[in-house]
């Protein structure tokens, strides 16, 4: 067994504490990764606070992981010691169902194994990237292009693929008008990716305080949703809307902004249910959809796309002792735009 230093939380209202966790000995196809950086995702906060259901505490969150390979199993062929690698939101799946065979492991019919707050095939709870080391089956490890620094690469493993996947699936491109709801950790990635795909990009944010950032990252237009005239002015405007917000919003109001046959895709995951007025859908044959990360193949495609187009998140690097403060600041929307933990501070 491998002992890793970590930061763990013991309950919904508990602070993070220093901890030691055990990582399994390497099987033949396993890779041992020394974690250099781990991003803080809003999903970490929802889970740590028990907002998505029961949690098996103590919990070590973190599914935006970037580091280096330090050991490989006897039959590993994809990676070698010294490779720059990443791990995202899942570390395994059944590999046999229809979805897994299609490269859509995130939709494994038996349920993928999440990087943390899950149970692995050995019956042990999974613990995430707020730690110095992790052992992962090689098929669920990603190669980080040399042109992307490891601290900037970490958020791509969740925020990057969570926005790339729906933009890719619903065909964002030169002939599409795309709106991004929210200008946070996910939203600022969606703007860059949609712009690089060639779409005409609009940001829909509560206020205009991040307008300069949005335009600099590639948005063509930026509107405040707190202004009622925004919804009148933009009615029927967009082919595709990506909702990145992890809070309850008036979905029906945003559906009114879609064109005929337009689609609103939810990637934010609020703890509260969302309600919809069905007439906002049927009037113009609109669709309301959801999307959850991407498969391993698509995630690698996203990393390579970001390297080609010089897309990186805007990050603030923090120490391991600043996690509680970072959580508070995320909830207060006081981050531009992703916190990344320097794991060497553990």
Task: Give residue 309's pLDDT.
Answer: 98
* pLDDT (0 to 100) of residue 272: 80
Q: What is the pLDDT of residue 129?
A: 98
The yes-or-no verdict on residue 274 having pLDDT over 90 is: no
**DSSP string for 42-100:** HHHHHHHTTTTS---SSB-----EEEEEEEE-TT--S--TT-EEEE-SEEE--S-SHHH
Closest CA to 214 of 124, 205, 255, 324: 205
**Percent of the chain scored above 90 by pLDDT?**
93
Range with the poorest average pLDDT among 87-91, 184-188, 245-249, 321-325 = 245-249
* DSSP code per residue over 206-225: SSSTTHHHHHHHT-SEEEET
| Residue-level pLDDT at 30 | 97
With 80 as the cut, is the pLDDT of residue 85 above it?
yes
Question: Could you identify the residue written with the tokens 């689609």?
Answer: 263
Please, what are the domains in the chain?
Answer: 2-158+294-345 (3.90.180.10), 160-290 (3.40.50.720)
State the Cα angle at 163 between 130 and 179, rounded to 5°. Answer: 140
Identify the three-state secondary structure at position 199: coil
Q: How far apart are CA 78 and CA 315, in angstroms?
A: 29
Give the number of other Cβ atoms within 10 Å of residue 10's Cβ.
Answer: 14
pLDDT at 246: 80
For residue 176, is pLDDT > 90?
A: yes
Q: pLDDT of 191-237, one tens digit each? A: 999 999 999 999 999 999 999 999 999 999 999 999 989 999 999 99
Averaged pLDDT score across all residues of the chain: 96
pLDDT tens, residue by residue, 53-72: 899 999 999 999 999 999 99
Confidence category of residue 239, pLDDT binned at 50, 70, 90? very high
pLDDT at 4: 98
- Residues near 239 by beta carbon (within 8 Å), at least 6 away in sequence: 176, 177, 178, 258, 259, 262, 263
Are the CB atoms for 236 and 257 separated by under 8 Å?
yes
Predicted pLDDT of residue 208: 96
Is 142:299 a contact under the CB 8 Å cutoff? Answer: yes
Please write the tens of the pLDDT for every residue from 151-175. Answer: 999 999 999 999 999 999 999 999 9
Residues 6 or more apart from 240 whose CB is under 8 A from it? Answer: 166, 167, 170, 171, 172, 176, 177, 178, 179, 199, 262, 263, 264, 265
Share of the chain above pLDDT 70, in %: 100
């Amino acid at each position: 067994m491998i002992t890793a230093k970590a930061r763990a939380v013991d309950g919904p209202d508990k602070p993070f504490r220093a901890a030691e966790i055990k990582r399994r000995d390497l099987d033949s196809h396993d890779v041992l990764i020394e974690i250099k950086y781990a991003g803080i995702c809003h999903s970490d906060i929802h889970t740590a606070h028990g907002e998505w259901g029961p949690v098996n505490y103590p919990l070590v969150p973190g599914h935006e992981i970037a580091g280096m390979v330090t050991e490989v199993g006897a039959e590993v062929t994809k990676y070698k010691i010294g490779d720059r690698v990443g791990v995202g939101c899942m570390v395994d799946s059944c590999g046999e169902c229809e979805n897994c065979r299609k490269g859509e492991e995130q939709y494994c019919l038996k349920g993928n194994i999440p990087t943390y707050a899950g149970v692995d095939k050995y019956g042990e709870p999974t613990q995430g990237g707020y730690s110095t080391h992790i052992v992962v089956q090689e098929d669920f490890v990603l190669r980080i292009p040399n042109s992307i620094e490891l601290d900037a690469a970490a958020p791509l493993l969740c925020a990057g693929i969570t926005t790339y996947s729906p933009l890719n699936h619903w065909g964002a491109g030169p002939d599409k008008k795309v709106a991004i709801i929210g200008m946070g950790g996910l939203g600022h990635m969606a703007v860059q990716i949609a712009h690089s795909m060639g779409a005409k990009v609009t940001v829909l944010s509560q206020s205009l305080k991040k307008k300069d950032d949005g335009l600099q990252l590639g948005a063509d237009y930026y509107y405040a949703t707190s202004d009622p005239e925004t919804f009148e002015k933009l009615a029927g405007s967009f082919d595709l809307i990506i909702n990145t917000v992890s809070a309850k919003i008036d979905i029906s109001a945003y559906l009114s902004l879609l064109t005929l046959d337009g689609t609103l895709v939810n990637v934010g995951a609020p703890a509260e249910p969302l309600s919809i007025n069905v007439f906002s859908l049927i009037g113009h044959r609109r669709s309301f959809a959801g999307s959850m990360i991407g498969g391993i193949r698509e995630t690698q495609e996203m990393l390579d796309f970001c390297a080609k187009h010089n897309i990186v998140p805007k990050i603030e690097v923090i120490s391991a002792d600043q996690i509680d403060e970072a959580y508070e600041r995320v909830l207060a929307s006081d981050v531009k735009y992703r916190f990344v933990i320097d794991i060497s501070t553990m």
